[in-house]
């Protein structure tokens, strides 16, 4: 049978919608560009990436955004003959304040050119748009309260200050009274609101408990849109917080959809924990997307089969096609679809496709939040092997290009082709979760003969090893570092593990080098 997660490797915060027999899921991308991933399926098992809609400066410019800032929790819907996408661009996430700007864009086709956005508000994050039966549209988001103590919907005032609702239209923006509709449960950290209507009730699903192992999907209902909302008899429809033996953990943050065949489904965020070298759990593949069948009883939604922990297998008759091995030659006009870069809407300054190679232009350092030449793909399984072939001869130690396993600027391992002591070498360097400070750890250099340079990395859960010409170099490194739980930890790390190519030129002169191919093999 097909298995959860259905979207494997860093695809969190799934917004789920249906148009006829076509199903779509939109997921968060944070600082990775272009923003938002949208997948399509007809069998709910096999999903194809069909769009990254936030692909130009008018829609998204994240230069200067911090690690794990950028695009949080999009909401995808369909009404009035077109798709609607709500998204947040987070400019600050540390400390008491959140600078989180919310926008709406539309498109008649899922893979077309999306409109320049409407700015909506900045009062909180995880916004969504509810299209009511009478044609009116309502904007709903959690409200952030920067005061540690004070007034608000939430009596414990954990800064997640409840869910607010206000009418919105393209012509008028937000208008009319603002309604405080739900304070959440005692689990707290109430976010990710999605509204829908069924029968005599309006239903509100939220995520609670944070992004870690206490995560949960909470449900409430009301006979009127503006409340009051009563909480589900069991509070949470989906959670694994009381089931440490479940292979799916961190279950929360999803959306309900009624299928075209009358069955009922709820998407959810999840992680597949592994055991690290210190005995602690880490999710090598980040936060992923799962799907669970649900059912209605007494006008409440319940996990089909009972309980709250979603099953690992899906009750669907479809062969799950998972791509385990892929080799890219960079001989086409565009970057292969699995690759993204960081923050900037101007990728032409980072790379070009020559027709036979990926030509990378060295820009700022591995710690930059502005213009970093780093092109990478997601780690989709706990074990994999990846490699690239480089044509590069850096003139000094200030220029480098190579292979990297990357989470953010304080969690990475890299094998860099550079120049030291009069010769071309591969230098192994890491940032071992040091924050703040981002201190570098060097693991030695290895001379490189003339010609092309093939570099590989073998990752097996908590361990990784770089290879040069097929021969291991340097020490076995801690791959558990490249996870949400590494470094600052799960409540400050929202992206996922990537592997790819990186180049820098610390002189600012834009030195260039070529990547001829890239191969990735997932291992079960």
Give catalytic residues, as residue numbers: 371
- Give the whole-angstrom CA distance, residue 30 versus residue 66: 10
Return the closest-CA partner of residue 303 out of 268, 335, 270.
268
Tokens of 138: 């309502």
Q: Hey, is 409 helix, strand or coil?
A: coil
Residues in the chain: 524
Half-sphere exposure of 90 (CA within 13 A, CB side): 25
Q: Which long-range contacts (CB under 8 A, 24 or more apart) does 242-247 make?
A: 242/308, 243/308, 243/309, 246/309, 247/272, 247/312
Residue that has been written with the tokens 């799934």 in this structure: 14
Q: Are 371 and 350 in contact (CB under 8 A)?
A: yes
Q: Are 190 and 154 in contact (CB under 8 A)?
A: yes
Instruction: Determine the Cα angle at 220 with ends 215 and 222, to 5°.
Output: 165
Q: Are 258 and 199 in contact (CB under 8 A)?
A: no
Beta strand segments in 362-436, E: 373-378, 383-391, 399-408, 411-420, 423-432
Tokens of 472: 């291991």
Tokens of 226: 């503006």
User: How distant, in Å, are the alpha carbons of 242, 273, 292, 308, 383 from that of 245?
Assistant: 9, 10, 18, 13, 21
Q: Are 458 and 467 in contact (CB under 8 A)?
A: yes
Q: Hey, is 291 helix, strand or coil?
A: strand
């Amino acid at each position: 049978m097909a298995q959860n997660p259905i979207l494997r490797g860093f695809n969190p915060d799934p917004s789920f919608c249906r148009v006829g027999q076509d199903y779509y899921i939109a997921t968060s991308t944070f600082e990775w560009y272009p923003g938002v991933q949208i997948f399509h399926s007809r069998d709910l098992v096999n999903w194809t990436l069909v769009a990254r809609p936030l692909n130009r400066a008018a829609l998204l410019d994240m230069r200067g955004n911090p690690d794990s800032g950028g695009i949080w929790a999009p909401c995808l819907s369909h009404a009035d003959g077109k798709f609607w996408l709500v998204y947040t661009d987070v400019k600050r996430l540390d400390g008491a304040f959140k600078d989180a700007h919310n926008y709406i864009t539309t498109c008649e086709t899922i893979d077309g050119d999306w409109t320049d956005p409407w700015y909506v508000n900045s009062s909180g994050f995880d916004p969504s748009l509810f299209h009511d039966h009478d044609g009116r549209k309502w904007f709903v988001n959690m409200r952030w309260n920067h005061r540690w103590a004070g007034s608000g919907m939430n009596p414990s005032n954990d800064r997640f200050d409840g869910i607010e609702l206000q009418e919105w239209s393209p012509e008028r923006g937000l208008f009319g009274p603002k309604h405080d509709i739900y304070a959440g449960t005692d689990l707290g950290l109430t976010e990710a609101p999605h509204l829908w209507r069924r029968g005599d009730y309006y239903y509100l699903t939220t995520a609670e408990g944070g992004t870690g192992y206490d995560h949960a999907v909470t449900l409430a209902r009301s006979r009127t849109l503006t409340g009051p909302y009563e909480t589900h008899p069991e509070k949470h429809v989906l959670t694994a917080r009381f089931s440490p033996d479940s292979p799916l953990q961190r279950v929360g943050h999803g959306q309900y959809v009624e299928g075209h065949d009358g069955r009922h489904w709820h998407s959810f965020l999840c992680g597949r924990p592994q055991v690290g070298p210190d005995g602690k759990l880490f999710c090598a593949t980040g936060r992923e997307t799962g799907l669970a069948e649900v059912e209605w009883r007494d006008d409440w939604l319940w996990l089909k089969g009972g309980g709250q922990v979603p099953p690992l297998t899906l009750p669907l008759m479809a062969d799950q096609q998972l791509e385990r091995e892929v080799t890219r030659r960079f001989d086409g006009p565009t970057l292969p679809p699995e690759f993204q870069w960081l923050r900037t809407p101007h990728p032409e300054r980072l790379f070009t496709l020559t027709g036979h190679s990926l030509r990378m232009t060295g820009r700022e350092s591995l710690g930059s939040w502005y213009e970093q030449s780093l092109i990478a793909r997601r780690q989709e399984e706990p074990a994999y092997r990846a490699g690239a072939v480089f044509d590069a001869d850096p003139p000094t130690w200030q220029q480098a290009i190579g292979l990297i396993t990357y989470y953010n600027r304080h969690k990475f391992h890299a094998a860099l082709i550079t120049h030291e002591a009069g010769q071309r070498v591969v230098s192994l360097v890491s940032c071992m979760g040091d924050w703040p400070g981002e201190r570098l750890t060097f693991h030695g250099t290895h001379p490189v003969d003339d010609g092309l340079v093939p570099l590989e990395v073998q990752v097996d859960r908590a361990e990784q090893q770089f290879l040069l010409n097929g021969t291991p170099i340097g020490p076995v490194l801690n791959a558990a570092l490249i996870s949400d739980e590494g470094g600052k930890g799960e409540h400050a790390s929202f992206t996922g593990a990537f592997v790819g190519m990186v180049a820098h030129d610390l002189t600012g002169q834009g030195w260039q080098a070529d990547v001829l191919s890239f191969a990735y093999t997932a291992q079960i």
